[in-house]
Amino acid sequence: MNCLEVQKQLDQLLDVTVDDATVTEFLNHIETCESCQDDAKSYFTLMTIVRQLDNDMGKAGLIDYDKAYDNRIRLIRDHVIRNKLRKWNKRIAFCILIVVLAVILW
Ligand SMILES: [Zn+2]
């Protein structure tokens, strides 16, 4: 994934409305590209402020936006890892099922 692709999809990437492979590429890219990481933080901060205003939560006090961004990225990473584990669990369960069926039918 290059910088232009990150810029075009920031909203989808931060909301995880794209596939896990794309999200993983995004996470890897922003780890090494300071410019895109700054853009992602700015976009996230702006969207958080807009959502606060929409929900009339502006009076709730100031948020540490850097910390909120770090939490969002951590949640996205956890989401991708959980999905990978789920896929592997299904594969392992399928293999065990095949072995059990082979033993029973033999
Ligand atoms: Zn970049």
Average pLDDT over residues 5-30: 90
Q: What is the pLDDT at residue 62?
A: 72
What residues are neighbours of ligand 1 (ion), with CB under 5 Å? 3, 33, 36
Q: What is the pLDDT at residue 57?
A: 65
Q: What distance in angstroms lies between residue 37's CA and the mean position of ligand 1's atoms?
A: 7
How many separate domains does the chain show? 1
Q: What distance in angstroms lies between residue 39's CA and the mean position of ligand 1's atoms?
A: 9
Any idea of the CA torsion for 50, 53, 58, 59, to the nearest 10 degrees? -170
Tell me: pLDDT of 18 over 80. Answer: yes
Q: What is the pLDDT at residue 16?
A: 83
Tell me: pLDDT of 96 over 80. Answer: yes
Instruction: Compute and round to an integer the Cα radius of gyration of the chain.
Output: 20
**Six-digit token string for 80:** 């991708």
The C-alpha atoms of residue 28 and residue 36 are separated, in whole angstroms, by 11
Structural domain of 43? 3-105
Q: What is the pLDDT of residues 24-83, one digit of tens each?
A: 999 999 999 999 999 999 999 999 888 888 877 656 667 888 999 999 999 999 999 999
Would you give the DSSP letter of residue 59? G
The number of helices, as runs of H, and strands, as runs of E, in the chain is: 4, 0
